[in-house]
Amino acid sequence: MTEVRTRFAPSPTGFLHVGGIRTALFAYLVAKQSDGTFVLRLEDTDKSREVAGSREHLLASLKALHLDYDEGPDISGDYGPYVQSERLGIYAQYAQKLIDAGLAYADPYTSEEIQSFREKAQAEKRAFRYRDYRPEVLPAWDGTKPLRFKSTPKSYTYRDEVMGDITTSPEVIDDLILIKSDGYPTYNFAHIVDDAEMQISHVIRGQEFISSMPNFLALYEALGLERPIFAHMPHIMNEQGNKKLGKRDGAKDVLDYIRDGYLPETLDSFIATLGWNDGTEQEVFTMDELVEKFDLSRVQKSGARFDEKRLLWMNAMLETGTTMRWQRAQAWIGHSVVNIDTPSLVIDLDAMERNMARMAGFASEHGVRLRPHAKMHKSAELARLQMDHGAVGVCVQKTDEALALAHAG
The answer to whether residue 5 is domain-embedded is: yes
Helical ranges in 142-263 per DSSP H: 187-197, 213-223, 254-259
Asked whether the predicted pLDDT for residue 31 surpasses 50, the reply is yes
- List the domain range (segments joined by +) for residue 244: 1-75+234-318
> Taking residues 101-109, what's their average pLDDT?
97
Choice among 3-12, 294-303, 375-384 with the minimum mean pLDDT: 375-384
Q: Is 145 a catalytic residue?
A: no
CATH number reported for the structural domain that contains residue 1 in this entry: 3.40.50.620
The pLDDT of residue 335 is above 90: no
Is the pLDDT score of 346 beyond 50?
no
pLDDT tens-digit readout, 202-224: 999 999 999 999 999 999 999 99
pLDDT for 240 equals 80
- Which neighbouring-strand residues pair with 233? 206
Domain count, the chain: 2
Strand duo 104-106 + 147-149: pairing: antiparallel
194 belongs to a structural domain: no
365 and 304 in one domain? Answer: no
For the stretch 156-190, pLDDT in tens is 999 999 999 999 999 999 999 999 999 999 999 99
Residue 259 has pLDDT above 90, yes or no: no
Domain end marker among 257, 288, 318: 318
| pLDDT value at residue 211 | 95
Predicted pLDDT at 38: 98
Residue 114 included in any domain: no
**Greater pLDDT, 288 or 337:** 288
Contacts with 290 (C-beta within 8 Å, 6 or more apart), sequence order: 25, 29, 268, 269, 272
Nearest-Å Rg of the Cα atoms of the chain is 26
Do the domain assignments include residue 300? yes
Residues 386 and 307 grouped into a single domain: no
Q: Tens digit of pLDDT for each residue in 49-94?
A: 889 999 999 999 999 999 999 999 999 999 999 999 999 999 999 9
Do 304 and 239 lie in one domain? The reply is yes
- Options 120, 154, 243, 247, the catalytic residue: 247
CA dihedral defined by 124, 130, 131, 134, rounded to 10 degrees?
Answer: 110
CB atoms under 10 Å from CB of 371, counted, come to 10
Quick one: 293 and 270 in the same domain? yes
Same domain for 343 and 373:
yes
Average pLDDT for the chain: 84
Q: For the whole model, what pTM was predicted?
A: 0.78
The pLDDT of residue 297 is 94
